Chains A and B, each alone.
Chain A
Amino acid sequence: MTTPGSTTTPSTAGPAGPATLTDRARAGFASARPPRLATLLSLAVLGFVAVAALAPGLLAPGDPTAIRLDQALQSPSATHLLGTDQSGRDLYTRVVHGARESLTIGLGATALAMALAVTLGVASGLGGRVTDRVIGGALEVAFAFPVMLLALLLVAVRGPSSATLVIAVGIGSAPGYARMVRGQVLAVRREPYVEAAAALGHPRHRVVLQHVLPNAVRPLLAIATLGVGQSIVWASGLAFLGMGVAPPSPEWGALLEAGRMYVTTAWWLEVVPGLAIVAVAVALTTLGRTLQQRLEGAPS
């Protein structure tokens, strides 16, 4: 529950009748239209992070694991832009090099969540009444587990690793999306063009694949953008508790965990990686909302 992205979570926890995503988006974002400047800033942040993930050497040529004990725990300065950690490793270099793993975890978890959600949501929306009830019940149960706790349960069983993070966050965030997909499928099914296609005698599978699916899933693109930021925040929260990637890694959550012991003496070790996470999450949220508005505006 940490980025505005999860305006999606609450709305699914709430009285989620068959309200469509469109209704929800209109209700939710009419008053909070992000200005263009915010979109540009977000793109800049994401561009920087994308370069950091793909070619970290371009932004930070140093070695993220180079230990210089004589320069341990230095506060931010001209030589060490964002300070150093307890082993004298340059924090800026580490944050840049950690981008890849953090983004991979966020993207992986969101992809898993979306795959689960589309499967469940479409089955629920197109299957019979029994399928719908069974899946609905299962989702209801899933909602009773906060993502964080489900993740901790999985970590207790599987042991901490980045794969566990992806699975845990992915499964945890799937139910909310699944409900949206279901609502969307139900709404699209009633659209005139779907009825027209059926009336023209197109076989059912073709109607579903060509008309219902693409139109039901398209709004998810925006939601997925919000979801990546959310997933990164959740995964790093788990890592902060020591349930994620092992410490020498510069993954952002791991940096947070490693810096915890020094929080009273070297604040930058916590504040800087956290800032990176928040910046990416906010950028993705802003962009997701812009995307959402664009998709709404475009005729299907």
Chain B
Amino acid sequence: MSAPTTLPTERPDQASPGGGTGEAPRGPEPSGTPRRTSPRAVLTRLVSRVLGAALVLLGAATVVFAVQTLLPGDRATLLLNLQTGEAIERTPEELAPINARFGFDDPVLVQYGSYVGGLLRGDLGTSFQQHEPVTQVIGGQILPTVQLALGALVLAWVLSLITVLATAGRRRWIAGLGSGLEAVAASLPHYWLGVILLVVLAVQAGWFPVMGGTDLAATVLPVLTLAIPLAGFLGQATRDELDRVLEQPFVLSARTRGMGDAAVRVRHALRHAVVPAVTLSGWALGSLLSGAVIAESVFSRPGLGQVLVTAVDSRDLPVVGGVVIFVALVYVVANLLVDLAYTVIDPRRRP
């Protein structure tokens, strides 16, 4: 899923130098035969990508299942104690109906089968504490978190592109300032940045509400909290690439044609320079969702993160597992999309 494969293209002469992934071209036709890729090759690639993603998801589900099932702690006792708010040992008579209902006594393989079967039907299990399907628990709180993560991703891209375009390849001190800013931004832990923004801009300056809701004013600070460190990362990746691209012959040739500096940067160099950062975006979305746990916690903002923290506190395993699988799903799908996005940005990879 991670390495974008170079495929036989319409212009094989250009395919090799930029491929750079070190992987041999894959495809049904042996290399050297037809110059155009058949629709079959495209389909094969797509199917193998999707299958790979499905396998990764199955693996993730297996890990979550194993962690829930095989580690110590009797789930029936846990569930019963959660429901009554006690922490006591239970008698076998009390546990028997629970075990029968949830199948905790079944052989592990049977449990695994029904777990995976449930996932395929979109059933993540039932919350120990709220007696609701986990999908409902997650679905009820998902919107604010998705808004937060997407907002942060967009803002991070905007911030990093502005900084990089303005400072990369400029005079030494300007470039140094830019990369210094990025390094500092990237090293800020979410909780700390969040607390500082909260103290300075909400408590002291009073520009934003201190206690979070999900309206626009209350969303600004959490989005900033997630976007600033990410912008640092994206900026670092883009800057290195832009520095390299700006020394390429085609940039020089564009300049000799009399093209202005800004135009060269935006129209020629940027297209190549964003590739590493686009690769990072799939990863970033997954990490934004986990960063959202902290941002929501700092700003007391409702969302998936709060669901997760509450569930971990009360050891509501199905909910915890459900959120983890959901995030893994987002990560896998995002990376699949990033992979496809390559073909748009870089025509050499277009099958």
| CB-nearest residue of chain B to A289 | B183
B-facing mask of A138-170, CB < 8 A → 1, else 0? 101101111111101111111100000000000
Interface contact A2-B187, CB-CB below 8 Å: yes
Asked if B297 is an interface residue, CB under 8 A from chain A, the answer is yes
With A15-B2, A15-B279 as contacts: A146 and B309 at CB distance below 8 Å? no
Please provide the 5 A-B residue pairs with the shortest distance between their CB atoms, ordered closest to farther: A141-B59, A13-B283, A274-B192, A148-B290, A146-B290
Asked if A203 is an interface residue, CB under 8 A from chain B, the answer is no
With A148-B293, A157-B71 as contacts: A138 and B312 at CB distance below 8 Å? no
Chain A nearest Cβ from B281, distance in angstroms: 10
Interface contact B195-A1, CB-CB below 8 Å: no
Q: List 6 A-B contacts (CB under 8 A).
A: A4-B236, A17-B21, A27-B240, A152-B324, A270-B192, A278-B188
With A17-B23, A241-B309 as contacts: A274 and B60 at CB distance below 8 Å? no
| CB-nearest residue of chain B to A34 | B183
Chain A nearest Cβ from B64, distance in angstroms: 7
Asked if B327 is an interface residue, CB under 8 A from chain A, the answer is yes
| CB-nearest residue of chain A to B282 | A13
Contact for A145 among B60, B237, B294, CB less than 8 A: B60
Most chain-B Cβ atoms within 10 A of its Cβ — which of A15, A28, A274? A15
With A31-B243, A146-B331, A263-B199 as contacts: A155 and B312 at CB distance below 8 Å? yes
With A1-B291, A158-B71 as contacts: A144 and B199 at CB distance below 8 Å? no
Asked if B137 is an interface residue, CB under 8 A from chain A, the answer is no
With A153-B321, A157-B71, A263-B195 as contacts: A241 and B57 at CB distance below 8 Å? no
Asked if B273 is an interface residue, CB under 8 A from chain A, the answer is no
How far apart sit A150 and B67, CA to CA, in the bound complex (Å)?
A: 10
> Which residues between 300 and 336 of chain B lie within 8 Å of chain A, taking CB atoms?
308-309, 311-313, 315-317, 320-321, 323-324, 327-328, 331-332
Q: 10 extra interchain contacts, Cβ-Cβ under 8 A, other than A143-B331, A237-B191?
A: A4-B183, A10-B233, A31-B179, A32-B183, A140-B2, A144-B60, A148-B291, A152-B293, A156-B312, A157-B315
Interface residues, chain B, CB within 8 Å of chain A? 1-4, 20-23, 52, 55-57, 59-60, 63-64, 67-68, 71, 73, 175, 179, 183-184, 186-192, 195-196, 198-199, 203, 210, 229-230, 232-233, 236-237, 239-240, 243-244, 276, 279-280, 282-284, 286-287, 289-291, 293-294, 297, 308-309, 311-313, 315-317, 320-321, 323-324, 327-328, 331-332
Interface contact B187-A15, CB-CB below 8 Å: no
Chain B residues in 8 Å Cβ range of A157? 67-68, 71, 73, 315, 317
Chain A nearest Cβ from B303, distance in angstroms: 14
Interface residues, chain A, CB within 8 Å of chain B? 1-7, 9-10, 13-19, 27-28, 30-32, 137-138, 140-141, 143-150, 152-159, 233, 236-237, 240-243, 256, 263-264, 267, 270-271, 274-275, 277-278, 281-282, 285
Chain A residues in 8 Å Cβ range of B313? 242
Chain A residues in 8 Å Cβ range of B284? 1
Chain B nearest Cβ from A164, distance in angstroms: 11
Chain A residues in 8 Å Cβ range of B286? 144, 146
How far apart sit A6 and B185, CA to CA, in the bound complex (Å)?
A: 13
Chain B residues in 8 Å Cβ range of A270? 192, 195, 199
| CB-nearest residue of chain B to A264 | B203
Interface contact B294-A240, CB-CB below 8 Å: yes
Interface contact A146-B327, CB-CB below 8 Å: yes
Most chain-B Cβ atoms within 10 A of its Cβ — which of A13, A27, A143, A274? A13
Chain B residues in 8 Å Cβ range of A158? 71
| CB-nearest residue of chain B to A15 | B3
Chain B residues in 8 Å Cβ range of A4? 183, 186-187, 232, 236
Contact for B230 among A1, A7, A13, A156, CB less than 8 A: A1
Chain A nearest Cβ from B308, distance in angstroms: 6
Chain A nearest Cβ from B209, distance in angstroms: 12
Most chain-A Cβ atoms within 10 A of its Cβ — which of B68, B189, B289? B189
Chain B residues in 8 Å Cβ range of A31? 175, 179, 239-240, 243
| CB-nearest residue of chain A to B309 | A241
Contact for B21 among A15, A146, A233, CB less than 8 A: A15
How far apart sit A241 and B192, CA to CA, in the bound complex (Å)?
A: 12
| CB-nearest residue of chain B to A139 | B2
Chain A residues in 8 Å Cβ range of B280? 10, 13-14
Interface contact B191-A149, CB-CB below 8 Å: no
How far apart sit A282 and B189, CA to CA, in the bound complex (Å)?
A: 11
Chain A nearest Cβ from B2, distance in angstroms: 6
Interface contact B2-A14, CB-CB below 8 Å: yes
Chain A residues in 8 Å Cβ range of B55? 137
Interface contact A285-B198, CB-CB below 8 Å: no
Chain A residues in 8 Å Cβ range of B236? 4, 7, 28, 32
Chain B nearest Cβ from A184, distance in angstroms: 14
With A17-B23, A138-B59, A270-B195 as contacts: A28 and B71 at CB distance below 8 Å? no
Interface contact B59-A18, CB-CB below 8 Å: no
| CB-nearest residue of chain B to A1 | B287
Interface contact B289-A146, CB-CB below 8 Å: yes
How far apart sit A149 and B192, CA to CA, in the bound complex (Å)?
A: 19
Chain A nearest Cβ from B115, distance in angstroms: 15
How far apart sit A144 and B68, CA to CA, in the bound complex (Å)?
A: 18
Interface contact B187-A285, CB-CB below 8 Å: yes
Chain A residues in 8 Å Cβ range of B183? 4, 32
Contact for A2 among B2, B189, B283, B289, CB less than 8 A: B189
How far apart sit A18 and B21, CA to CA, in the bound complex (Å)?
A: 8
With A13-B283, A14-B279, A241-B309 as contacts: A149 and B290 at CB distance below 8 Å? yes
Interface contact A271-B195, CB-CB below 8 Å: yes
Interface contact B233-A1, CB-CB below 8 Å: yes
Interface contact A7-B233, CB-CB below 8 Å: yes
Interface contact B71-A274, CB-CB below 8 Å: no
Interface contact A156-B240, CB-CB below 8 Å: no
Interface contact A237-B190, CB-CB below 8 Å: yes
